[in-house]
Structure 1
Amino acid sequence: MIRMLFISGLALALALPSAAAADRVTGRPFATRSEVYAPHAMAATSQPLATQVALDTMKAGGSALDAAIAANAALGLMEPTGNGIGGDLFAIVWDPKTRKLYGYNGSGRSPRALTLAELRRRGLTELPPHGPLPVSVPGAVDAWFALHERFGRRPMRENLAPAIRYAREGFPVSEVIAYYWGLSVPKLSAWPGFKEQFTLDGRAPRTGETWRNPNLADTLQKIADGGRDAFYKGEIAHAIDAYFKANEGYLRYEDLASHRGEWVEPVATDYRGYQVWELPPNGQGIAALQMLNLLEPYDLKRYGFGSAEHVHLFVEAKKLAFADRAALYADPDFYRTPVAKLVSKAYAAERGKAISLEKAARVVAPGVPAQLDQGDTIYLTTADADGMMVSLIQSNYRGMGSGMAPPGLGFVFQDRGEMFVLKEGHPNSYAPGKRPFHTIIPAFVTKDGKPWLSFGVMGGAMQPQGHVQILMNLIDFGMNLQEAGDAPRIQHDGDVEPTGQNTAMRDGGEVDLETGYPYETVRALMRMGHSVRFADGPYGGYQAIMVNPQGGYIGASESRKDGQAAGY
């Protein structure tokens, strides 16, 4: 009875906003705003000042890649709740000269001094979310310089200058960032260096308060002057080594000095005539491609946005893709994920037989056997007057990361190692010098061999789910670029865990629906066997740039974050 009352209240809450928003000029039953149009260049980031940094960079002659680096450096300062130079980076770049997409995997590896045997000796069944154990080598700075060497036009010193200036002079903290900062401080203040460098008298900065980070300014200046090696082989690397030795950590100078990211070939599937591109594992991007392949046989346009069929089919496709994701996605240096098979139409057709139009699946296993067997993020995209477009995502994992903040350096190390499995033989099992499974994924879409859309959605396991929903909204439901991000979202929480030889989703999981879905949809989903619940979030955060067929670009940045899309 309590469950039914809860769902009834949910349905009422979901239904009310639709009527309130029905008089908007767009005609959409949800709050949205206009797309942004510009003739020459566009930037969309999760913080307005960072967007302006990107535009200023391009106005000064920088490429879209220069602008992306400048914005990312600024975001590491302005949005430490999602990213920073202590984390990893992935990017997809459209190069107008070669008319090709290039992918970069800027993820770091686990410390070579830490072994699975040592973790087991400590009695651990999983890596903790904070402290020294989940720390891996941060790959962001290396990725900046590798990308810049190929696609940059301005000196790196100039690209980093705005972030350095803001770090010294200060900036007002924006609302959503202040909220998440406040959640992080109680969790991370116990770790050495965090409270001293990321609080104001022991508390998080409040909305509108000025924040300065002179330590980060000094670190970025050393990188600007000395290049990537200043971070991985110079004074900074030695300071990191000493810090972890003093605080029961395992990251060492040698781990930093030997780090290199790698160029990778993006992977695509065709969805109704659009080529959707993601990066291969160790990230989770191909889960979005698997979901799209499973959804393509269905006439989603006829069912309509917000219908029970729309939500049900999406959730069932997600369950199948994520079963493979949990069992098979890992560092390609240690495990050969069968990418070509997983993203093939034939595999989708076979797997799709498991989808029922009437009933929710309760247990789903991976379709390919393994050999033995939330976090926050920033996403940004830029596009310049020459046609270069950059899709870039960067993260600490779990918001502000591990809490490990070396004194004097002004940044927090990521806790991405938490994603390892402490089970021998699993593709994502912990090993020294290995890259963990990664959640952060940039995306790109081409049509007829030409760039169409650069976009991303932040938020852990929400990311491939968000990618698919954005594309459904644009391609199947005819929404514009801004509407596609503002539309109410679906998030399926599948309780997926490694279970020996296989990985299975049990009991059907939970379907979170953002406000905006009608009562009839909620009731129909319950009849199908879905467990529907209300959640305020997180549903991710979205930025996008689309090529305007009339010339120039279209930009969008959704309202769940502090972000801004702007151009000139």
Structure 2
Amino acid sequence: MQTWSGIEKHARHSAGGLVAAQHGGAAEAGARVLAAGGNAMDAAVVTALVLSVAEPWLSGIGGGGFLLHASGDTGAVDTLDFNVRAPQGISAADYPLRGGRGGDWFDWPAVEGDRNLSGPMSVCVPGAIDGLATALARFGTLSWAEALAPAIEAAERGLEVDWFTRLCIAIDAGNLAADPASAEVFLPGGQPPDPGRTPRLPMPAKARTLRRLAQAGARDFYEGGIAASLAGELAMAGAKLSAADLAAYRSTWQPPRTASYRGHEVHVIDGLSGGPSLLAALAALDIGPQTGPAEAALAYATAIRDATRLRLTTMGHASAGGDCTSHVSVVDRAGNMVSLTNTLLSRFGAKVTLPSTGFLLNNGMMWFDPRPGVPNRIAPGARPLANMSPLLLTRGGRPTLAIGAAGGRQIFPALVQLLSFMLDGGMGLEEAFHAPRLDASSPTIRVNRRAAPDVAAKVAEAFPVELVTDTLHPVNFAIPSAVARDPASGRNSGMAHPTSPWAAVAAETEGGPDA
């Protein structure tokens, strides 16, 4: 066992645009778009598409997500829901309970054969391609083919293999081996790739799919040749997702849900995201500059636990009211911002790769509670209760922060604390990202071992506590990335998760802090 300590990353500062992402190469692809005159949405879409190749176990064109866009001129905020949808042909009877508890990020009752967690019956209608194309058409300047070009180039080169690639694949090697197409891509010779022997994993089918999308357009994924391949191969595999489900898919624009916090406006995705729970937790906080770390930690745990309890018992498509994951935050030199989260849900999603298309599919059915009669129950065509919570912060009508995270139920608890660190504690991005956090997304509160000695003791006055380390695997705390802007000076800054080896901020312009 190895224990690493003293790991640090520094915030990046620039008068130009910045891209923060969980893969440095993808962030650099977005930054090159900014350097060539593209705007924040151009860079966000390019980065997300490259991420689908560079870290295919976290996000991709077989998944879905949410994004927010803020105008640097007017401060107007728009949100796009391009999350997955349940197939129309499914029913709760397709997912019979077998007793015991389920696994992964959720602790729903277990379903027979874990068919809601992996395999063809776990797949929901992907929304990523429609969402990225829709966002680009409204706010970007690139053509769809231009936005796809860096991802096509990356797929043609193949997935770069290093020690972290091998680790990420090895974690799920047993599940990947059960799907022949996934095993062919990710397990050469039946084993996780050895960087010394296999420096890159070929991805010819994914490259062909991306080239087809560039030539035929995004709707080909839903109504053309790619759609026909998807529907046909999924039907052969026993899935309920149909050609009609694909053809009916459309992402949706809607206003954000907004609340005031410490002189700022916090904008989140309304409805079935982590956003409403995040705002509820913020509203319950009573923290100021004089609040000590231990008292603040107890306040975070209490507010987050209360919001989580309300979330899991009242929210869902059937309520009275309305992951492995990857996040991208972008600011351009004009002050436009994008906060975009895309996910396959579990690591490697459904663990299903269709031979003709070469990309992994989501396991979106995992987001539904399989019990009957609950607000988030399984239903034909339903939208699941998602954990993703990208957000934008504005002040005085100007965007000041784009932030989000990966980590399933850990996402909104992490963002609540990071916002409080900055707005209540006066921390900058770099200090906030290095400050130890707790996770209150489960009944036992996980406290980072690096926290002050009295933090765990204080939280333990009200909750069971477990001391844990911020490890690569398992992921005990969410993985955030963010960009910020000082409206007065026009200076931008960005920060990536310190302990994530690939996470980085890329700048439009090269140079040091004064670039």
Given the two structures, how large is their TM-score scaled by the length of structure 2?
0.89
Aligned mate of 1:551, from 485, 490, 502:
490
Query: Does the C-alpha gap of structure 1 residues 492 and 335 become closer, same or farther in structure 2, counting only changes over 3 Å?
Result: closer
Question: Contact conserved, 1:185 with 1:199, CA < 8 A, in 2?
Answer: yes
Q: Distance in 1 between matches of 2:424 and 2:72?
A: 28
Residue 171 of structure 1 and its aligned partner are, at CA, apart by: 5.1
Corresponding position of 1:311: 297
Corresponding position of 2:349: 401
Which consecutive residues of structure 2, in runs of 5 or more, have no partner in the other structure?
Answer: 100-108, 510-515
Question: Contact conserved, 2:42 with 2:140, CA < 8 A, in 1?
Answer: yes
Identity percentage over the alignment? 26
Q: Distance in 2 between matches of 1:121 and 1:512?
A: 29
Q: Distance in 2 between matches of 1:39 and 1:147?
A: 25
Residue 122 of structure 1 and its aligned partner are, at CA, apart by: 9.0
1:475 aligns with 2:423: yes
Q: Distance in 2 between matches of 1:118 and 1:50?
A: 38
Residue 240 of structure 1 and its aligned partner are, at CA, apart by: 1.1
Query: Does the C-alpha gap of structure 1 residues 321 and 207 become closer, same or farther in structure 2, counting only changes over 3 Å?
Result: farther
Residue 525 of structure 1 and its aligned partner are, at CA, apart by: 3.3
Corresponding position of 2:120: 132
Bigger mean CA offset, 318-327 vs 210-219: 210-219
Residue identity in the other structure for 1:278: V
Corresponding position of 2:512: none
Q: Distance in 2 between matches of 1:521 and 1:169?
A: 48
Corresponding position of 1:322: 308
Q: Distance in 1 between matches of 2:466 and 2:110?
A: 31
What pairs with 1:83-482 in structure 2 (closer than 5 Å)? 83-120=59-96, 126=111, 128-170=116-158, 172-206=160-194, 209-295=199-285, 297-299=286-288, 301-304=289-292, 307-331=293-317, 334-337=318-321, 375-482=323-430
Q: Deviations over 1:157-214 (max 9, x none)?
A: 1111111111112353355444222212212320242111222222233568323312
Bigger mean CA offset, 182-191 vs 167-176: 167-176
Q: Deviations over 1:372-409 (max 9, x none)?
A: xxx31100111222322110000000111001111021
Q: Distance in 2 between matches of 1:112 and 1:203?
A: 37
Bigger mean CA offset, 545-554 vs 222-231: 545-554
Question: Contact conserved, 1:130 with 1:188, CA < 8 A, in 2?
Answer: no
Query: Does the C-alpha gap of structure 1 residues 180 and 290 become closer, same or farther in structure 2, counting only changes over 3 Å?
Result: same
Q: Distance in 2 between matches of 1:471 and 1:177?
A: 31
Q: Distance in 2 between matches of 1:170 and 1:457?
A: 26
Q: Distance in 1 between matches of 2:131 and 2:361?
A: 16
1:565 aligns with 2:513: no
Say which SS state the counterpart of residue 302 (structure 1) adopts.
coil
Say which SS state the counterpart of residue 396 (structure 1) adopts.
strand
Bigger mean CA offset, 511-520 vs 267-276: 511-520
Question: Contact conserved, 1:41 with 1:552, CA < 8 A, in 2?
Answer: no
Q: Deviations over 1:298-351 (max 9, x none)?
A: 33x2123xx3211111111111101111022223xx54426xxxxxxxxxxxxx
Residue identity in the other structure for 2:305: K
Q: Distance in 2 between matches of 1:174 and 1:324?
A: 42
Question: Contact conserved, 1:194 with 1:405, CA < 8 A, in 2?
Answer: yes
Q: Distance in 2 between matches of 1:519 and 1:386?
A: 44
Corresponding position of 2:440: 492
Say which SS state the counterpart of residue 130 (structure 2) adopts.
helix
Note the aligned Cα RMSD (angstroms): 2.2
Say which SS state the counterpart of residue 66 (structure 2) adopts.
strand
Q: Distance in 1 between matches of 2:119 and 2:449?
A: 36
Give the number of equivalent residue pairs.
486
Residue identity in the other structure for 2:361: F
Residue 417 of structure 1 and its aligned partner are, at CA, apart by: 1.0
Q: Deviations over 1:431-489 (max 9, x none)?
A: 11111111112111111221110011210011100111111111122221122112212
Given the two structures, how large is their TM-score scaled by the length of structure 1?
0.81
Residue identity in the other structure for 2:505: A
Q: Distance in 2 between matches of 1:108 and 1:203?
A: 31
Q: Distance in 1 between matches of 2:468 and 2:461?
A: 17
Residue identity in the other structure for 2:490: G
Instruction: Mark the structure with the bigger radius of gyration.
Output: 1
Residue identity in the other structure for 1:193: A
What pairs with 1:3-82 in structure 2 (closer than 5 Å)? 32-82=8-58
Question: Contact conserved, 2:324 with 2:406, CA < 8 A, in 1?
Answer: yes
Q: Distance in 2 between matches of 1:97 and 1:230?
A: 34
Residue 281 of structure 1 and its aligned partner are, at CA, apart by: 1.9
